[in-house]
Structure formats: C-alpha cells, structure tokens
Chain A
Amino acid sequence: MHALRLAATYLRLGALNELQYRANFFVSVFQSGLAVAVGLAVLALVYSHTPSLNGWTHSELMVVLGVQILLGGIIHALIQPNMQQLMDEVRDGKLDHALTKPEDAQLIVSLRTLRLWQLTEVISGAAVIGVGVARLGSHIGAGRSVAFLVLLLIGALLLYCFWLVLATIAFWLINVWFLSEMFEGIYQVGRWPIGVYPGWMRYSFTYLVPIGFAITVPAQAMTHRLHGHTVVIAFVFAAAVAVVTRWFWRFGLKRYSGASA
C-alpha cells in the first residue's frame, strides 16, 4: 500500500513537471500522428499484395499495430526515461541520490521521471485498436475486454523487466548509450504477429525478448485467437520474469560504487 502511495506521488510530481511545457503536447500529437500514418501505410502496402499474412487479415493486423503503438507510448512515457536516467547516473556516479533514500531502490529508479506528453501514443494506439476491432465487426464481450486489459498490463510489466535487465548491464559496461537505440530497433519486431517469424526467432522474441508475449498475446484476445492456456502461461512467465529481474537488479547493484559522490 505504502509503495503504491509513493508511486502515485512520484507520478503526480512528474506530471506536474511536464504540464509546464504545454507546447510539447502538440509536438507529441504531431509525432504520434506520423507514426500512425506510417504504420497504416505499411499495412496497406503489404495487403495490396496479399489477402492475408500468415492467417492474419488486414483488420486483425491493425489491432497488432495498435497494441504496439499503445505499449510504445507507455515505454516512451514511463519506462525508457527512467531507465535512461538510471544508466546516465550509473555512468556519472550519481546514483547515490536514489540509493540513500529510505525506500526500495528499484521502485525509486523506476518511477522518477514521467514524460506525460508521450502518452498521446497510448491514445492513438487505442484508436487504431478501436478501428481494427470495428472493421472486424465481431462482438467483443466484457470477458474478452477484461482479458485484453490484463494481458496488456502483463505486457507492460514484461517490457519494463526487459528494459531494467538491459539498464542493469550498465553496472558492468558503464557506458551504454547505445541501449536505447538497440531497444527501439528490436521493439519494431512487435509490429507483426510473432507467428510470422521463423522458429528460432519466434522463440527468442517470445521468451528471451518478451515482445511476443507483450504485443501479440493481447492482440490475440481482441481477434478471437486466444487460448485459455496462453493466459495461464503469460501469468506464470510474467511472475518468473519479475522475480529474476529483481534478483538481477540486486546482483548488479552490488557492483555499484559511486564514482563522484
């Protein structure tokens, strides 16, 4: 409970900070508009040459695209800025400011920054999902919607864990400016259903880099492809990943010795 209150306070502070720069809202809207336009144009191009991609129709892939954009918004607003700050502070030896606080260090480094305006991507992603589902024309019941939202949360958790593992590598490598670029590159994999990829890539993008779970599985919930056992596996897998990530974070943290403090 206490942790949740702390998280809420941090996020509110972050939001207030961003609200000072309102012009950035329009920049974000423009950028998310462009991202959606490109995504839709690419889909249109692909489907001008084929009626279905590995069994997925145009409308169904719009749902996948929407989920990818939506989760991308959460990454850009909340996950990536915090991880970037963490990596920078490890390099500059300034992490002590976070570590000396009497709260859990992982909680603090994960919530210090919020890029509020990037959340426009969450809205544009949701809009793309909405259009995709509407074009499918099938009924989505309450049960499916709940499953979708829960799986989306699990997806966000998995992506956060993956980013934290990457950022923790900074304790060994120190200068890891290239990680953001690398993550962005790999994240584009999620734009297509994970079943498209050949075997070894499919496995690595499901379990090693959990993009399959994070994006394809929620999209399956909205396109009538979800099996009950996938949900169970997603829960178990997410719990395991969260535990391992926490262990790895603590293991890395032991290597930290402030450089300038």
Chain B
Amino acid sequence: MSAVATTRQESWARSTWDYYVTTIRTQLQAQFQYRAAVYAYMVALVAEPVIYLVVWTTIARSQGGSVQGIGVGQFAAYYVVWTLVRGWNVVFTPFGWEWRIREGEFSAALLRPQHPIHFELAWWTGQKLVWSVFYIPVFVILSLVFHPALHPRPLEIVVFFFAIWGAYVLRTINNFILGMITIWTTRAGAIFELWFLSELLLSGRLLPLQLMPHWVQSITSWFPFKWTFYFPIESLVGNMSNTALLRGLGIQLLWIGICVTVMRFVWRLAARHYSAVGN
C-alpha cells in the first residue's frame, strides 16, 4: 500500500485547503463591496435581540432588578453577545437549497468532485471575516447603550472562539440536511418553518434557557439547537466552570459528529434519488 495511498490523501488535503483559501479570498473581495447591504442586514439582525432585551429589562426592573437571579446587566450581556453569535451562525438556509434544487442549479454541484458542503463552509467563512470587521462599531454602540456585565476569563474567550465556529459548522450541516428534503418533496417549506420555530424556542435564541419551564429545559438536551445559540453565549457570559466549558465543547463536537454522519447518509441517498428539475 501505502506510499501511493498516502500521497493521494495528502494531495486531497492540499487541494481541499487550496479550495477553501481561494473561495474565502474571493468572498472577502466580493463582500467588501456591499457595505450598505451589510449594515442594513445588521440593523435587521440587531433589532431582534434588542426587543427581547428591552422586554426582559422591563420585567427585571419591575421586580427589583432581576428575574430568577438574572440581573439587568446580565440580560444585556446575554443579548449583546447574542448578536455576535447570531452573526456567526447565519449560514446558507434550507430555503436556499430548496431554490437551487428546484431551479436545477444543483446539477452542477453533483458534477464537482467536492462535497457541496465544502463550498458553503468556505464561502460563508469569508463572509464571517468581513462581517466581524463591520461588526466592531455595532458592538461598541450596543455596549455603550445597554451596559452589558461582561467580564470573561481568558479560558472563556478561548472556548467562545471555538464554540462560535462549532455553532457555525453545526448549523451549516443541519441546514444542508434539511435542504436535502427538497429532493423528495419539492415543497418542504412547512418542515423548514417547523424546524426554525423549534430552534427559536429550544436554542436560547428567544431567551436564556434558565427562564424556560423545566420540562422545556429537559427537552432541549435531545436537540442540537442549544449548541448553536445558548452554549456559545453562555460560555462567554455565564460564569461556567472550566470543566463545564470543556465538557460543552466536547458535546458540541459530538453533535457535529452525529450530524456529519446523518449528512453523509442523506447525501448518498439524495445523490441517487436526484432528478434535475428546470434547465
């Protein structure tokens, strides 16, 4: 074996690396052109947590400064970090996959030797890098207005960094799996909406999960949702112990592993079942 096999593997790794770098570079140059669009998009994105924050701040103030032990400054920290996490887990949507499949654009993806997920991961990584630059003033303004109680330890910052990339990968893969449903039924919009509804309620996107009824909290352990919102946010704002932080990263990684397995399985079935629609 093995000389040949090793070289082949090495060249696969190298070409995949090249592929990522080139796609990210192209995306960097493309995205910097649309500054107005990026900021308008941020306004829409920031509106959602600001609304939640205002509502919970009002409740906390009316109850002497906190709701179940979460104070005004901690709510502010949760929802300000929320904006950063949300920015990171904006990825290609299942509606996008549906559109590609319906319009027949998916045929081209099947001809490439790469799994289509690589392009998405690389393309959106480029978008994140641009986004993070534009995000800095937004973060400063939000902090000046809402005074978040944010005092992370160094380890929390490191874990947070890995957690947002983990959330990004996990959400990309899940949206891809969902999108593939379109190959069997050309209108899967209703399923997508149910999924996002569950995500809204079970991920910590709507509110810190401690405020959910206990039975909802126990449900959240059975879904990947909270590893894309609640865990990254809490890793930075929640004063978790070092073991809890690392354990969290481990479980997030486990979920990525499970979802990658499902993705490979679904992808194999889908590629077999696919029949082009459109031109």
Give A contacts to B, CB under 8 Å.
27, 30-31, 34, 37-38, 41-42, 45-46, 48-50, 52-54, 173, 175, 177-179, 181-182, 184-186, 188-189, 191-192, 196-198, 201
Contact = CB atoms under 8 A, between A and B. Distances in A.
Range class of the B interface residue count: 20 to 34
B47 A188 contact: yes
Interface stretch (B54-62, B76-84, B256-264): B54-62
Among A37, A50, A198, chain B packs the most CB atoms within 10 A around the CB of: A50
B41 A181 contact: yes
B150 interface: no
20 contacts: A34-B194, A38-B197, A38-B201, A45-B206, A45-B212, A49-B67, A50-B62, A53-B62, A173-B36, A178-B41, A181-B40, A185-B43, A185-B47, A186-B47, A188-B47, A188-B51, A192-B54, A192-B55, A196-B54, A196-B55
B253 interface: no
Nearest to A198: B54
B211 A53 contact: no
Nearest to B212: A45
A38 B200 contact: yes
Contacts of A49: 59, 63, 67-68, 211
Given A30-B190, A178-B41, A48 B58 contact: no
Nearest to A166: B40
B207 interface: yes
A124 to B, nearest CB: 15
A138 to B, nearest CB: 24
Contacts of A34: 193-194, 197
Among A45, A49, A185, chain B packs the most CB atoms within 10 A around the CB of: A185
B48 A188 contact: yes
Contacts of B189: 27
Interface in B192-225: 193-194, 197, 200-201, 206-207, 211-213
B47 A189 contact: yes
B45 to A, nearest CB: 7
A177 B59 contact: no
Contacts of B54: 192, 196-198, 201
Interface in B209-252: 211-213
A10 to B, nearest CB: 28
A186 B43 contact: yes
B37 interface: yes
Contacts, number: 80
A191 B51 contact: yes
B44 interface: yes
Given A27-B190, A46-B55, A197-B54, A184 B44 contact: yes
Contacts of B48: 185, 188
A46 B67 CA distance: 11
B202 to A, nearest CB: 11
Contacts of B45: 185
A179 B62 CA distance: 36
A178 B90 CA distance: 15
Contacts of B197: 34, 37-38
Nearest to B59: A50
A177 B34 CA distance: 11
A206 B67 CA distance: 29
A34 B67 CA distance: 28
A54 B206 contact: no
A54 B57 CA distance: 11
A83 to B, nearest CB: 15
A38 B211 CA distance: 16
Given A34-B194, A48-B213, A196-B54, A185 B44 contact: yes
Contact of A53 (B51, B55, B194): B55
A242 to B, nearest CB: 25
Contacts of A184: 44
A178 B212 contact: no
Contact of B59 (A31, A53, A188): A53
Contacts of A179: 40
A69 to B, nearest CB: 15
A67 B187 CA distance: 30
B47 to A, nearest CB: 4
B244 to A, nearest CB: 25
Among all A-B residue pairs, the 9 with the closest Cβ atoms:
A185-B44, A185-B47, A178-B40, A182-B44, A50-B59, A178-B37, A182-B40, A181-B44, A196-B58
